């Protein structure tokens, strides 16, 4: 089964004027149910925008998107809300209310399954503290069960958000830079736990990462984004160091190279040096509409 399929998709942020640059352009991507892939690319490449688009939070300006076989923007609000309930979007900055107890923050992962009354009741008396404890224990954070969220470190908050993901019953995890505040050991452990959980429940995992080496060691499929476009969509063994260097090369690098050759104008005109343009890996888009 295909979890996500997008075709010739472009997205512009609502706060941007009509003439402003697109955040995503001409994106084709198909992700099978249960597949795990890493999104990499420089800052501003469009990774967050893509994750939010997959989570049905951004309406595309052009193109098609299907999520679990449904076109989210052809559904009514109620149906789209139900579809979103099958997805878990973990944003870069975890949306954890500062004065809340960790136990309530973690159990909020069950909100899509709960009625308003169940949600309110759980705020007063946590519905399933054992589930929250077990999820926190997977990230070695069980001793923080009744701590206040605003007393957690940045890395603890990130792991608390991952524990929230574990208690959800989502069929797809869309995770935006979950390791940015973690030390290398915790980053490895957290990513491994996330992947094991996705594999155990057959959930799809799309994870944006700035730690390229972790992406290359942990994920079989890597998608490189730059300037809102997919530069490559390849199996791990096809991703070369040159492709990574080209993905992250910036106009600053090009300017320094050109300064050596006293050709500054050329540097601004050609932000990516031609000798490091990556081999283009064919992107195969299975028919899914």
Stretch that binds ligand ATP, among 45-53, 112-120, 122-130, 272-280 (CB under 6 A): 45-53
CA atoms of 94 and 200, how far apart (whole Å): 24
If you compute the radius of gyration of the chain from its CA atoms, what whole number of angstroms results? 20
Which one of residues 18, 19, 43, 260 is an interface residue with ligand ATP (CB under 6 A)?
43
Alpha helix segments (H runs only) across 108-147: 116-124, 129-137
Shorter beta-carbon distance to ligand ATP: residue 55 or 136? 55
47 binds ligand ATP (CB under 6 A): yes
Contact 89, 55 (CB under 8 A): yes
The reply on whether position 69 binds ligand ATP by CB under 6 A is: no
Pick 38 or 106: Cβ nearer ligand ATP: 38
- Give the footprint of ligand ATP on residues 77-116 (CB under 6 A): none
Secondary element (H or E) of residue 29: strand 24-32
Span interacting with ligand ATP, options 9-17, 165-173, 215-223, 237-245, rule CB under 6 A: 9-17
**CA pair distance 228, 256, nearest whole angstrom:** 25
Q: Which of 4, 25, 41, 211 binds ligand ATP (CB under 6 A)?
A: 41
44 contacts ligand ATP (rule: CB under 6 A): yes
Separation CA 141–CA 133 (nearest Å): 8
Contacts with ligand ATP by CB under 6 A: the residue count is 12
- Does 15 sit near ligand ATP (CB under 6 A)? yes
Tell me if 155 contacts ligand ATP by CB under 6 A. no
Q: Please, which residue, 13 or 148, has the CB nearer to ligand ATP?
A: 13
Q: Does 23 bind ligand ATP (CB under 6 A)?
A: yes
Q: Are 136 and 144 in contact (CB under 8 A)?
A: yes
Binding ligand ATP by CB under 6 A: which of 31, 38, 45, 108? 45
Is residue 174 within 8 Å of 206, Cβ to Cβ? Answer: yes
- Of 227 and 257, CB closest to ligand ATP: 227
Give the pairing type, strands 229-235 and 221-226. Answer: antiparallel
Closer CB to ligand ATP, 41 or 126, in the complex:
41
Q: Which residues does 76 contact at the CB level (< 8 Å), separation at least 6?
A: none
Task: State which residue, 46 or 155, has the beta carbon closest to ligand ATP.
Answer: 46
Nearest alpha carbon to residue 155 among 189, 137, 180: 180
Is 16 one of the binding residues for ligand ATP (CB under 6 A)? yes
Distance CA 227, CA 143 (A): 42
Return phi, psi of residue 284, to 5°.
-95, 120
- Positions in the binding site for ligand ATP (CB under 6 A): 13, 15-16, 23, 41, 43-49
């Amino acid at each position: 089964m295909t979890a996500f399929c997008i075709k010739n998709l472009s997205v512009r942020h609502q706060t941007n004027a009509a003439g402003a640059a697109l955040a995503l352009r001409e994106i084709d991507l198909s992700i099978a149910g249960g597949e795990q892939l890493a999104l990499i690319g420089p800052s501003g490449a469009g990774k967050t925008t893509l994750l939010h688009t997959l989570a049905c939070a951004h309406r595309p300006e052009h193109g098609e998107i299907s999520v679990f076989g449904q076109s989210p923007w052809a559904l009514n609000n109620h149906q789209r809300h139900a579809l979103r309930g099958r997805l878990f979007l973990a944003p870069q900055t975890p949306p954890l209310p500062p004065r809340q107890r960790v136990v309530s923050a973690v159990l909020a992962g069950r909100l899509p399954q709960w009625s308003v009354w169940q949600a309110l009741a759980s705020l007063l008396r946590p519905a399933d503290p054992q589930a929250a404890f077990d999820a926190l224990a997977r990230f070695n954070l069980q001793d923080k069960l009744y701590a206040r969220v605003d007393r957690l470190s940045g890395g603890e908050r990130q792991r608390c958000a991952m524990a929230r993901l574990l208690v959800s019953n989502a069929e797809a995890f869309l995770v935006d830079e979950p390791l940015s505040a973690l030390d290398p050991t915790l980053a490895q452990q957290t990513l491994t736990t996330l992947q094991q959980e996705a594999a155990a429940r057959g959930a799809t995992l799309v994870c944006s990462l700035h730690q390229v080496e972790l992406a290359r060691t942990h994920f079989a499929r890597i998608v490189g984004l730059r300037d809102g476009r997919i530069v490559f969509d390849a199996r791990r063994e096809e991703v070369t160091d040159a492709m990574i260097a080209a993905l992250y090369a910036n106009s600053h690098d090009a300017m320094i190279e050109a300064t050596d050759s006293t050709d500054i104008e050329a540097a601004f005109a050609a932000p990516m040096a031609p000798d490091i343009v990556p081999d283009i890996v064919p992107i195969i888009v299975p028919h899914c509409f």
